[in-house]
Amino acid sequence: MLAASGERKHVARVRRVRAALRRRWGTGGRGRTAWTRGRITAALAAAVAAVTALHSLVPNALLGLGSLLETFLPWTGLAVPVLLAVALLRRSALALVALLLPSAVWLGLFHGALAGTAPEAAPGAARLTVVQHNVSDVNPDPRAAARTLAGAEPDLVALQEVVPATRRAYEAELAPDLPHHAVVGTVGLWSRYPLTDVRRLDIRPAGIGPDWNRGLRATVRTPHGEIAVHVVHLPSVRVRAGGFDTARRDESAKLLGAALRAEESPRVLVLGDLNGTLDDRGLDPVLRHVDPPDAGAADGFSFSWPASFPAARIDHVLTRGATVTRLRTLPATGSDHLPVVARIALPS
């Protein structure tokens, strides 16, 4: 008897829940059902999915919207919880189903950053630790910044915005472990191993004076073979009245791409503040000449800029003939960028 009574109570509770759901999700005052309410929300979900999946089709000619979208592409995922809340408030089954579209697209593009499935180094591969950092020309404590970088025990450190007032501080702090260094203009490379064939890398866009030197190329003679290293700082992008202005950055990227195309070394590193993310079409001329980086190598998204609220990774370690097996950011150094540290496997 007790069991039967308990079963009846359970059935009654289920019926009450079903009735409540029918009242809340059933036909509304205007005769709309859960499958006809929330059409606008469902349309917005489909639009977010389309824009995220087809971002390369968004024209740059219109206010530079293509590059602007691609700079912050991972953040399109924030639309999903917002639209989910609206769908629940509207009690719209249609919108809830539509939200599967942007969710699937976003996960398809960025699941590697969440999973952290770093590529495995080949057996016998040599390893290097590399740090890339725009230290800021107004860094209030360059010595402390250099100590933060040295704490990662790097084999190579690439810096941008090295100015005469701070250069000696970096040299003094990095010299004990990285005795070999070269500075061209405002970019520098510090190395555990000897540097040869150091030269200026001309990535200067038209219309900029000859004192603008933000690229160098050097050969690093490691115990595992020589590596051609390009340290670069592409021009900044700006949001102006006419839209997202990337013209000079894009022109400089083409010059860097041409230099990489002409590079004869089988092992190449590109270390720099590229003022763009790897989704940004403006960097395509560079990305054509390096191996595609594995998203799973990064710890999360490893956003590097701005340091106060990192929203995009515009500081990069790119390779050819080598593999980035791990990439992460270091703590803030007084710059508006966070340092990026990468582990690199060199095939034997």
Residues 35-70 have pLDDT tens digits of 889 999 999 999 999 999 999 999 998 889 999 999
Q: pTM of the entire structure?
A: 0.89
Provide mean pLDDT across the span 311-320.
97
Q: What is the rounded distance in angstroms from the CA atom of residue 171 to the CA atom of residue 191?
A: 11
Residue 164 lies in a domain: yes
- pLDDT-above-70 percentage for the chain: 90
Q: What is the rounded distance in angstroms from the CA atom of residue 23 to the CA atom of residue 214?
A: 66
Q: Poorest-confidence range of 29-33, 158-162, 248-252?
A: 29-33
Q: Are residues 160 and 248 in the same domain?
A: yes
Residue 336 lies in a domain: yes
Q: Are residues 151 and 99 in the same domain?
A: no
| Mean residue pLDDT across the chain | 92
> What is residue 64's DSSP assignment?
T
Q: Are residues 165 and 99 in the same domain?
A: no
Q: How confident is the model at residue 27 (pLDDT cuts 50, 70, 90)?
A: low
The distance of Cα 329 from the centroid of its chain, to the nearest Å, equals 11
Residue 61 lies in a domain: yes
Provide mean pLDDT across the span 225-237.
97
Q: Are residues 209 and 245 in the same domain?
A: yes
Q: What is the rounded distance in angstroms from the CA atom of residue 313 to the CA atom of residue 190?
A: 22
The pLDDT value recorded for residue 42 is 96
The pLDDT value recorded for residue 239 is 87
Residue 142 lies in a domain: yes
- pLDDT-above-90 percentage for the chain: 79
> What is residue 303's DSSP assignment?
-
Q: Are residues 315 and 207 in the same domain?
A: yes
Secondary element (H or E) of residue 320: strand 315-320
Quick one: which of 286, 289, 283, 262 has its CA closest to 199? 262
Q: How confident is the model at residue 347 (pLDDT cuts 50, 70, 90)?
A: confident
The pLDDT value recorded for residue 348 is 74
* Helix 100-115, helix 39-53: angle, nearest 10: 40
What per-residue string of b and e applies to 236-267 under the rule 16 or more CB within 10 Å gives b? ebeeeeebbbbebbbbbbebbbebbeebebeb
The pLDDT value recorded for residue 114 is 83
Q: Are residues 159 and 237 in the same domain?
A: yes
Q: Are residues 52 and 196 in the same domain?
A: no
The pLDDT value recorded for residue 61 is 86
Total of domains in the chain: 2
Q: How confident is the model at residue 296 (pLDDT cuts 50, 70, 90)?
A: confident
Q: Are residues 36 and 169 in the same domain?
A: no
Residue 118 has pLDDT above 90, yes or no: no
Q: How confident is the model at residue 14 (pLDDT cuts 50, 70, 90)?
A: low
Secondary element (H or E) of residue 51: helix 39-53
Q: Are residues 108 and 138 in the same domain?
A: no
The distance of Cα 213 from the centroid of its chain, to the nearest Å, equals 25
Provide mean pLDDT across the span 92-96.
95
CATH number for the domain harbouring residue 285 = 3.60.10.10
Q: How confident is the model at residue 31 (pLDDT cuts 50, 70, 90)?
A: low
- End residue of a domain, out of 71, 94, 115: 115
Q: Are residues 36 and 143 in the same domain?
A: no
Residue 82 has pLDDT above 90, yes or no: yes
Residue 24 has pLDDT above 60, yes or no: no
Residue 8 lies in a domain: no
Neighbours of 229 (CB within 10 A): 24
Residue 2 has pLDDT above 60, yes or no: no
Q: How confident is the model at residue 113 (pLDDT cuts 50, 70, 90)?
A: confident
Provide mean pLDDT across the span 122-127.
79
Residue 332 lies in a domain: yes
Q: Are residues 166 and 102 in the same domain?
A: no
Q: Are residues 230 and 95 in the same domain?
A: no
Q: How confident is the model at residue 150 (pLDDT cuts 50, 70, 90)?
A: very high
Tokens 């009846």 -> residue: 8
The pLDDT value recorded for residue 329 is 97
Residue 246 lies in a domain: yes
Residue 5 lies in a domain: no
- End residue of a domain, out of 80, 115, 150: 115
The pLDDT value recorded for residue 295 is 76
What domain range includes position 64?
A: 30-115
- End residue of a domain, out of 60, 82, 115: 115
